[in-house]
């Protein structure tokens, strides 16, 4: 898909965003573990969702829209299925979660096979590796255009697995819930949890297991960690409870935090912008962009913050503000990889240099979103240095280009669109399919064309 983008007017007024994609997909995955019906309130149809609903229907999952949202009802025999073929167009979170559920449902007596298209294998490799670390091993059998991963239940490792990335926490929580057995693991402090905005709405929470140690031992531990140059905060031991089935839930979905990030970036880039976004999802680890932009000088305020059954949400007020470049390290900022592309787009309008590091996870084999982003920024005339785990860029007073490649990558495409719609002239974004499939609201409502004053 080629998308022509013209300079748009400053954002003004109030915009109610469609529901957060990740929250909705996580809620759907948990709904597959609930024999009763689950309602996703506020759900809205998109091409991405319609394709996912069609695929779910092939093995009996009913997903029916009503006046309140989407009603999800899994079939009674869902746990008896022992083979699922993923579709290459499935959303990444949903496809990853299905692999985790398959691992949890498997056993030595009843293996579970997942057929993975070659196009999805690089994306799902991280999830497969995470499951292997926790004892769910799935040998791969190569076929034409795809591979088969067959899980045979869990063989607990000798040591508790350690989560240093959100994908591991996500994978282990879903697999453990599907298995009906508890699972204990350690995690580095502040690892993001993309399930946090939905677990509580199903009456669930993971338990933090606190180790009883003496004050002397605690002080000795702190000294040793300081000597190693590490954070004084010790790993957290967490336990996923054993549940045989989840109750049906009434899940309230909140505004899409990625689209809110697009709004925040464009507000920073377009003079005269002043908008209010009511009821936006603000999960820890996925909403750090707003704090990062404030650190750069952005006029961004959470005017109301609430927490409903574990789901954090609030109203955002966004105004134009002059930005100054800063240094950001993904190792210190949980979830930064999820919003680094938008932060880089905003930095194009900043004074001085911006450095983004600790983003090696964006440069995986077969998928290099960081390189796509760097090349896209260079097309606008921005000076960009690309490194193994990050990039450095300097703001450009008059960025612009006639054509830019988004490479079919979702968040780089979103960031390049924010930049394209905030610069003079006309820009053609190539391979911009995710914008129409994932965020049609962006093209319908948030991107009115016209010369900015």
**How far out from the chain centre does Cα 246 lie?**
24
Task: Tell me which residue of 444, 415, 445 sits closest to 429, measured CA to CA.
Answer: 415
- Is residue 314 within 8 A of residue 303, CB to CB? The reply is yes
CA distance 40 to 38: 7
* pLDDT at residue 190 is higher than 80: no
Q: Which residue has the higher pLDDT, 361 or 353?
A: 353
Listed ranges 132-136, 237-241, 366-370; the one with the highest mean pLDDT: 132-136
Per-residue pLDDT for 217 more than 70?
no
Report the half-sphere exposure of 329 (CA within 13 A, side-chain side).
2
| Segment 175-204 mean pLDDT | 89
Tens digit of each residue's pLDDT (9 = 90 or more) over 74-96 = 998 898 899 999 999 999 999 99
pTM (2 decimals)?
0.90
* pLDDT at 224 exceeding the cut of 70: no
The arithmetic mean of pLDDT across residues 381-410, rounded, is 93
Contact yes or no for 177/198 (Cβ under 8 A): no
d(Cα 288, Cα 265) in Å, to the nearest integer?
Answer: 13
Collapse the DSSP code of 266 into the 3-class scheme (helix H, G, I; strand E, B; otherwise coil) and give the result: helix
- Average pLDDT along the chain: 90
Structure token pair of residue 239: 């336990």
Lowest mean pLDDT among 15-24, 64-73, 137-146, 304-313: 304-313
* 257-292 pLDDT tens trace: 999 999 999 999 999 999 999 999 999 888 999 999
CA distance 387 to 378: 14
Structure tokens at 140: 């791969």
274/271 Cα distance (integer angstroms)? 9
Query: Which domains are seen in the chain, by residue range?
Result: 2-19+254-446 (3.65.10.10), 21-252 (3.65.10.10)
Q: Residue 453: pLDDT above 50? A: no
Q: Are strands 426-430 and 2-6 parallel, antiparallel or unpaired?
A: antiparallel
Q: Model confidence at 451, in pLDDT bands (50, 70, 90)?
A: very low
The token pair that represents 122 in the structure block = 């690089």
Report long-range pairs for 296-303 (Cβ below 8 Å, ≥24 apart): 296/323, 296/324, 296/325, 296/326, 296/346, 296/347, 296/350, 296/354, 297/321, 297/322, 297/323, 297/324, 297/350, 298/264, 298/267, 298/268, 298/323, 298/346, 299/267, 300/264, 300/267, 303/276
H-helix or E-strand spanning residue 328: strand 327-329
How far apart CA 197 and CA 208 sit, in angstroms, is 17
- Cα(79)–Cα(33) distance, integer angstroms: 9
Between 350 and 230, residue with greater pLDDT? 350
């Amino acid at each position: 898909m080629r998308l022509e983008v013209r300079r748009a007017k400053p954002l003004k007024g109030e915009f109610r965003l469609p529901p957060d994609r990740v929250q909705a997909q996580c809620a759907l995955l948990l709904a597959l573990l609930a024999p009763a019906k689950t309602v996703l309130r506020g759900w809205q149809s998109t091409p991405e969702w319609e394709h996912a609903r069609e695929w779910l229907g092939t093995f009996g999952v009913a997903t029916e829209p009503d006046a309140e949202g989407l009603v999800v009802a899994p079939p009674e025999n869902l746990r008896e299925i022992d083979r699922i073929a993923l579709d290459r167009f499935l959303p990444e979170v949903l496809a990853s979660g299905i692999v985790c559920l398959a691992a949890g449902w498997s056993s030595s007596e009843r293996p579970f096979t997942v057929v993975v298209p070659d196009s999805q294998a690089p994306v799902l490799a991280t999830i497969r590796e995470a499951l292997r670390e926790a004892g769910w091993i799935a040998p791969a059998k190569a076929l034409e255009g795809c591979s088969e991963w067959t899980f045979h239940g869990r063989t607990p490792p000798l040591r508790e697995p350690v989560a240093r990335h959100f994908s591991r926490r996500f994978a282990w929580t879903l697999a453990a819930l599907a298995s009906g057995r508890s699972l204990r693991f350690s995690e580095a402090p502040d690892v993001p949890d993309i399930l946090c905005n939905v677990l509580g709405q199903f009456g669930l929470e993971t338990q933090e297991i606190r180790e009883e140690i003496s004050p002397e031992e605690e002080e000795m531990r702190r000294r040793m960690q300081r000597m190693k140059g590490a954070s004084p905060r010790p790993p957290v031991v967490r336990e996923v409870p054993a549940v045989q089935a989840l109750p049906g839930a009434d899940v309230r979905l909140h505004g899409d935090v990625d689209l809110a990030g697009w709004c925040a970036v464009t507000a920073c880039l377009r003079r005269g912008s002043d908008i209010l976004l009511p009821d936006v999802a603000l999960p820890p680890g996925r909403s750090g962009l707003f704090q990062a932009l404030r650190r750069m000088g952005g006029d961004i305020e959470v005017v109301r913050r609430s927490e409903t059954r574990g789901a954090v949400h609030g109203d955002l007020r966004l105004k134009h503000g002059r930005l100054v470049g800063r240094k950001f390290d993904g190792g210190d900022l949980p979830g930064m990889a999820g919003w680094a592309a938008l932060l880089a787009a905003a930095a194009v309008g900043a004074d001085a240099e911006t450095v983004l590091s600790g983003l090696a996870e964006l440069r995986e084999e077969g998928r290099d979103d960081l390189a796509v982003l760097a090349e896209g920024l260079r097309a606008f005339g921005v000076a960009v240095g690309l490194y193994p785990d990050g990039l450095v860029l300097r703001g450009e007073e008059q960025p612009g280009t006639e054509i830019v490649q988004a490479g079919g990558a979702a968040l780089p495409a979103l960031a390049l669109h924010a930049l394209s719609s905030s610069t003079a002239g006309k820009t053609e974004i190539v391979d911009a399919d995710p914008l129409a499939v994932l965020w049609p609201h962006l093209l319908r409502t948030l991107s009115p064309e016209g010369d900015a004053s």
